[in-house]
Amino acid sequence: MATAQTRTLSRIMMAPAVIVLLIWMIVPLVMTLWFSFQNYSLINPMMTGFAGWANYLYVIGDPSFTQSLVNTLILVGGVLAITVIGGTFLALLLDQPIWGQGILRIIVISPFFVMPPVAALIWKNGFMHPGYGMLGHLWKFFGLQPVDWFNQYPLFSVIVIVAWQWLPFATLILLTALQSLSEEQREAAEMDGANAINRFYYIILPHMARSITIVILIQTIFLLGIFAEIRVTTGGGPGYASTNIAFLVFRTGILSNDIGAGSAGGVVAVVIANVVAFFLMRAVGKNLDA
Amino acid sequence: MGSISLKNVKKSFGEVQIIPDISLDIKDGEFVVFVGPSGCGKSTLLRLIAGLEDTTAGTILLDGEDMTKAPPARRGLAMVFQSYALYPHMTVRDNIAFPLKMAKASKEEIDKKVEYAARTLNLSSYLDRRPRALSGGQRQRVAIGRAIVREPKAFLFDEPLSNLDAALRVNMRLEITELHQQLKTTMIYVTHDQVEAMTMADRIVVLNAGNVEQFGSPLDLYKKPANRFVAGFIGSPKMNFVDGPEAAKHNAHSIGVRPEHFKLSKTAEAGTWKGKVGVAEQLGSDTFLHVHVDGLGLMTIRTDGDQTFSHGDDVYLTPDQTRIYRFDAAGKAI
Amino acid sequence: MARNVSVQTRIGFTIAAWAIALLLFSPILWVLLTAFKTEAEAIASSPTFFPQTFTLENFGAVQDRSDYFKHAFNSIVVSVGSTLLGLIIGIPAAWAMAFAPTKRTKDVLMWMLSTKMMPAVGVLIPIYLIFRDLRLLDTLQGLTIIMTLINLPIIIWMLYTYFKEIPVDILEAARMDGAELWNEIVHVLVPMAVPGIASTLLLNVILAWNEAFWTITLTSGRAGTLTAFISSFSSPQGLFLAKLSAASLLAIAPILLMGWFSQKQLVRGLTFGAVK
Ligand SMILES: Nc1ncnc2c1ncn2[C@@H]1O[C@H](COP(=O)(O)OP(=O)(O)OP(=O)(O)O)[C@@H](O)[C@H]1O
Ligand SMILES: [Mg+2]
């Protein structure tokens, strides 16, 4: 399958995909880098010229940056903790002999298909609203004072919404991995006299380790860019209490029209994502030859 | 027309040289079989002829025309794959019609040729089935049908029968031979089953490590093997080889005797080799005796099925003096 | 799975699993029920489960207030359009990588994947400015282009893993049968890969439909998709709860159905073939 002719054809066949992705990757990124060293504001056209590291110093020096960075880490870490631990248990539970497994799978995966703004608005208005949200009603039922979630615990509230969306993803992938563990392997372990806990630690967990890694890495990629959930619920506030890096760039660049500083923030976001991407690529790449 | 000639064809995959240098002339209408041990480059050679791989060097001529660089679609050859490679999403009819559609044949012509191929191959009642719903033998026939409708210059078969069970293999072997006699089109057939090679071929190419060891008619190969490799490869059970002083008596580095070229007796005679029977494989018509010959090692002897030997019997072997093959130190026949 | 367990254990597991599943599902259930309630009932201080007075007027109101059909149309154009465009670019590329691989194929695949990891905010500003200058802001064309680009790596990866499962013999047979590349792809590869291509299509329509960064930042009114449409409800005080639910239900229902059909392929698609 390798004549010179097929090789030539295959280059031609790949060209469109490679070219558009190359442009997509390089052009905006170079522009972002360029802008990040410029004085460039859409509001103040007088501000022009080379800015040196000023944008970076401005962005990184601003307390909102530190807070956004911390928020990003808490958001990603919190959601990962909930989804990976919850997903593992849920997958184990769904793998048990239960009635209606097929329907359950469908029910459990559903939140993943809910578009982010809808997810956010359902939680904001239907559940977390202190006046008429379901959680408010529940609190009142137990004689408690309803909580104003988005004002009192803005970041936590966002974490809950995002975790709700991603828990099904983790569950589904871990369940798939679990189901590929052959029955024979399990039976062999049972014959060897391993009890349920030992089986979990020595057979099931090692088998799922790779899938868990992949879940963590893929979710991290998406979670670093969480945007809509913040945009339609807290708007990043109060103050910067629920602003992550992605939202900060949007606030600075688009809402405040400070292209230079926004770009510097964008570059920082790219750097963070690349660190994660490096590890994800290694995990996926290893699987390529298999 | 369908003569095929290879001139100094070489093939390497990266650094690895698979075919060092092969030249071959296959005449129009000939049935040529490529045999050789696994991994010797039979499929590679076939794929070079088909145009599915590029030659590293050399020329491939089809009917005298240089086709070395032509894509498979332009070479006018048809190929039958070991896996059948039927199009699973098409009915048998559409599978057979596909090459004609590609050649932009008219609807009537397609129908006529498909009907004809189906009748020839006993596929008429399966035309509307998908390959999935056919047996292995039927699938193979569809693959052949797809090959014959385009009236190719030559057919290329890559171990087409190796996925079939033994009985079916014999049947299909006959069918392909008959097809060849009917169509009189050049066929190149790859196999490592030497019964297929011997029974089907006009001429056999014996390949070893990418080299042609011998190219000749089945009987030539059997009677006049060019070297020790061919002698050992052609014929079943394998030829027995003897080195050392016994071979020196015949002025050779080594000598070979085929299992069927022994006289066997239970009583001692002059000039015979003495041995003890090990395993006796009784096939009914024949018996294969594995005899431990004193000083010469294990030999396989073929006798008719009527004589009975059992483990541990003493036997005396007399090789037919006119049918001893002699080889020099390099393995060449002398 | 044929493990032997007592009926009691089985009942226990079943109850636990259903309880958790329904808890997870409750927000969607809430939308489903509230969409048919009156606004007054939706915010009543003692909540009802089923709508007491079943009404469809929320749906009418949603259409009147912000033109649901226009946004739905935009969503369909962008998600289906970008996916088809992605398939047109992706099928030949995946063919090349699956059936004529070179030493560099693996690197190219990894590189394509890496473009997926670039955070959107990293390029938001230049894209915004380029779109502004090319007058692509708030247009369906602009949005379709972006959506094609961000989903192309997933499309190629999914197709690649599906194509890899097709025996190369069959494509070679087509070549021997006289098929040129175009015929080989159109008459042999694509029909054989229909299930894989369909899953790729489905998953990418879902992803594009739910994409909520570019659709919100690059549109304002004209080209707004359903994500933008829903975001416009972001501060529905008091009397909007039932209408919000109706709008949400309309926005998620079609994709939820598609998602249920494609959930098996989803795993493969979103893990780039690493988990099957
Ligand atoms: N695409 C390839 N890249 C690298 N090496 C290859 C390739 N195709 C075949 N080879 C090598 O070339 C040699 C000959 O292979 P080929 O398939 O021609 O053998 P064969 O005689 O058909 O064997 P078999 O009887 O097992 O089918 C083998 O060692 C094989 O590993
Ligand atoms: Mg072979």
Q: What is the pLDDT of residues C105-138, one digit of tens each?
A: 888 988 887 887 778 888 888 888 889 899 888 8
Final residue of a domain: which of B168, B197, B232?
B232
Give the atom of ligand 1 at the shortest distance from the alpha carbon of B37: 25
A137 Cβ under 8 Å from any chain C Cβ: yes
The reported pLDDT for the residue numbered A168 is 92
Asked if residue B182 and residue B300 are part of one domain, the reply reads: no
- Side chain identity at A96, as an amino acid letter? Q
Give how many domains chain C has, as a whole number. 2
Radius of gyration of chain C (CA): 23
Question: What does the DSSP assignment read for A248-266?
Answer: HHIIIIIIS-BHHHHHHHH
Tokens found for residue C156: 């190629």
Asked if residue C32 and residue C75 are part of one domain, the reply reads: no
Tell whether A246 is covered by a domain: yes
Order of strands, edge to edge, in the sheet holding B203-208? B77-80, B154-158, B186-190, B31-35, B203-208, B211-216
Tokens found for residue B52: 């599915």
CATH number where A229 lies: 1.10.3720.10
Which range of A81-85, A286-290, C198-202, C233-237 scores highest in mean pLDDT? It is A81-85
Asked if residue B131 and residue B67 are part of one domain, the reply reads: yes
DSSP state of A128: S
Contact B7, B54 (CB under 8 A): no
- Side chain identity at C12, as an amino acid letter? G
Tokens found for residue C180: 């040129």
DSSP state of B53: B
Asked if residue C102 and residue C164 are part of one domain, the reply reads: yes
Final residue of a domain: which of B232, B259, B288?
B232
Mutate to test the interface with B, among C172, C176, C197 (most CBs of B within 10 A): C176
The torsion angles phi and psi of C176, rounded to 5 degrees, stand at -65, -35
Mean model confidence pLDDT for chain A: 83
Give how many domains chain B has, as a whole number. 2
Across residues B195-221, what is the average pLDDT? 92
Q: How far apart are CA A146 and CA A137, in angstroms?
A: 8
Tell whether A2 is covered by a domain: no
A238: CB partners within 8 A, 6+ apart: A151, A154
How many residues are present in chain A?
A: 290
Contact residues on chain A for C25, CB-CB shorter than 8 A: 107-108, 110-111
Q: What is the pLDDT of residues B81-131, one digit of tens each?
A: 988 999 999 999 999 999 999 989 999 999 999 999 999 888 899 999 999
Contact A236, A64 (CB under 8 A): no
Examine the pLDDT at A50 and tell me if it is beyond 80: no
| Range(s) of the domain holding residue A116 | 63-286
β-pairing verdict for B240-243 and B314-319: unpaired
DSSP state of B2: -
Asked if residue C172 and residue C89 are part of one domain, the reply reads: yes
Best of B10, B12, B33, B43 for a ligand 1 pocket test (most atoms within 8 Å of beta carbon): B43
Q: What is the pLDDT of residues B256-293, one digit of tens each?
A: 999 999 888 887 776 678 888 888 888 888 889 999 98
pTM for the predicted model, two decimal places: 0.85
Contact check, Cβ <8 Å, B87/C174: yes
The torsion angles phi and psi of B34, rounded to 5 degrees, stand at -95, 120
Expressed in angstroms and rounded, the spacing between residue A69 Cα and the centre of ligand 2 is 60
Tokens found for residue A193: 């006299």
Examine the pLDDT at C237 and tell me if it is beyond 60: no
| Range(s) of the domain holding residue B264 | 238-327
Chain A nearest-CA residue for B51: A3
The reported pLDDT for the residue numbered C273 is 66
For tokens 């044949």, the residue is B105
Asked if residue B65 and residue B195 are part of one domain, the reply reads: yes
Q: Which residue has the higher pLDDT, B268 or B32?
A: B32
Asked if residue B132 and residue B61 are part of one domain, the reply reads: yes
Contact B212, B45 (CB under 8 A): no
Indicate left, alpha or beta for B104 from its phi (over 0: left) and psi (-120 to 50: alpha): left
Final residue of a domain: which of B202, B232, B262?
B232
Asked if residue B36 and residue B9 are part of one domain, the reply reads: yes
Q: How far apart are CA A174 and CA A215, in angstroms?
A: 8
Indicate left, alpha or beta for C205 from its phi (over 0: left) and psi (-120 to 50: alpha): alpha
Q: How far apart are CA A128 and CA A120, in angstroms?
A: 10
B86: CB partners within 8 A, 6+ apart: B95, B131, B139, B142, B143, B146, C170, C173
Tell whether A3 is covered by a domain: no
Tokens found for residue C53: 């007075």
Q: How far apart are CA A40 and CA A222, in angstroms?
A: 29
Contact B213, B207 (CB under 8 A): yes
- By CB atoms closer than 10 A (0-12, 13-18, 19+), residue C254 is middle
Across residues A54-76, what is the average pLDDT? 85
Helix (H) or strand (E) holding B301: strand B297-304
Asked if residue C103 and residue C32 are part of one domain, the reply reads: no
Examine the pLDDT at C218 and tell me if it is beyond 90: no
The reported pLDDT for the residue numbered B44 is 93
Asked if residue B281 and residue B165 are part of one domain, the reply reads: no
Tell whether C181 is covered by a domain: yes
Tell whether B215 is covered by a domain: yes
Across residues A45-56, what is the average pLDDT? 74
Contact check, Cβ <8 Å, B99/C192: no
Give how many domains chain A has, as a whole number. 1
Task: Give the number of C-alpha atoms closer than 13 A to the C-alpha of residue B288, restricted to the C-beta side.
Answer: 13
C198: CB partners within 8 A, 6+ apart: none
Asked if residue C226 and residue C184 are part of one domain, the reply reads: yes
How far are the Cα atoms of B110, B115, B121 from residue B125, in angstroms, in the given order? 17, 11, 11
Tell whether C258 is covered by a domain: no
Q: How far apart are CA A281 and CA B119, in angstroms?
A: 56
The reported pLDDT for the residue numbered C96 is 93
Cis amide prior to B99 (ω within 30 degrees)? no
Give the atom of ligand 1 at the shortest distance from the alpha carbon of A1: 1
A92 Cβ under 8 Å from any chain C Cβ: no
Other CB atoms within 10 A of residue B136 CB: 15
Q: What is the pLDDT of residues A134-155, one digit of tens each?
A: 787 778 778 777 778 888 888 8
Confidence band of B333 (pLDDT split at 50, 70, 90):
confident
The reported pLDDT for the residue numbered A290 is 44
B52 Cβ under 8 Å from any chain A Cβ: yes
CA distance to partner chain C, nearest, from residue A162 (Å): 13
Contact residues on chain C for B81, CB-CB shorter than 8 A: 169, 172-173
| Range(s) of the domain holding residue C181 | 67-232
CATH number where B254 lies: 2.40.50.140
Asked if residue B191 and residue B286 are part of one domain, the reply reads: no
The reported pLDDT for the residue numbered A182 is 65
For tokens 């926005």, the residue is C251
Task: Give the distance, in angstroms, between the CA of residue C5 and the centroid of all CA atoms in the same chain.
Answer: 39
Q: How far apart are CA A46 and CA B286, in angstroms?
A: 105
Q: How far apart are CA A132 and CA C128, in angstroms?
A: 38
Q: Which residues pair with B325 in a beta bridge?
A: B256
Across residues C87-91, what is the average pLDDT? 95
- Side chain identity at C5, as an amino acid letter? V
Expressed in angstroms and rounded, the spacing between residue B4 Cα and the centre of ligand 2 is 20
The reported pLDDT for the residue numbered B28 is 93
Tokens found for residue C159: 């197709």
Across residues B190-202, what is the average pLDDT? 90
Start-to-end C-alpha separation, chain A? 20
Give the atom of ligand 1 at the shortest distance from the alpha carbon of B45: 18
How many residues are present in chain B?
A: 334
Contact A265, A249 (CB under 8 A): yes
Asked if residue B52 and residue B162 are part of one domain, the reply reads: yes
Q: Where are the alpha helices (H) located in chain B, listed in sequence order? A: 42-50, 72-75, 92-102, 107-120, 136-148, 166-183, 194-200, 218-223, 228-233, 245-248
Tell whether A179 is covered by a domain: yes
Q: Which residues pair with B299 in a beta bridge?
A: B291
Tell whether B333 is covered by a domain: no
Task: Give the number of C-alpha atoms closer than 13 A to the C-alpha of residue A182, restricted to the C-beta side.
Answer: 3
Tell whether A51 is covered by a domain: no
- Side chain identity at C201, as an amino acid letter? L
Percent of chain C with pLDDT over 90: 28
Asked if residue B305 and residue B215 are part of one domain, the reply reads: no
Start-to-end C-alpha separation, chain C? 18
DSSP state of B160: T
Nearest to B175 by CA among B116, B96, B114, B120: B120
CA distance to partner chain C, nearest, from residue A244 (Å): 11
Asked if residue C202 and residue C178 are part of one domain, the reply reads: yes
Expressed in angstroms and rounded, the spacing between residue B160 Cα and the centre of ligand 1 is 17
Asked if residue C147 and residue C87 are part of one domain, the reply reads: yes
Across residues A123-132, what is the average pLDDT? 81
Q: How far apart are CA B239 and CA B231, in angstroms?
A: 7
- By CB atoms closer than 10 A (0-12, 13-18, 19+), residue A171 is buried
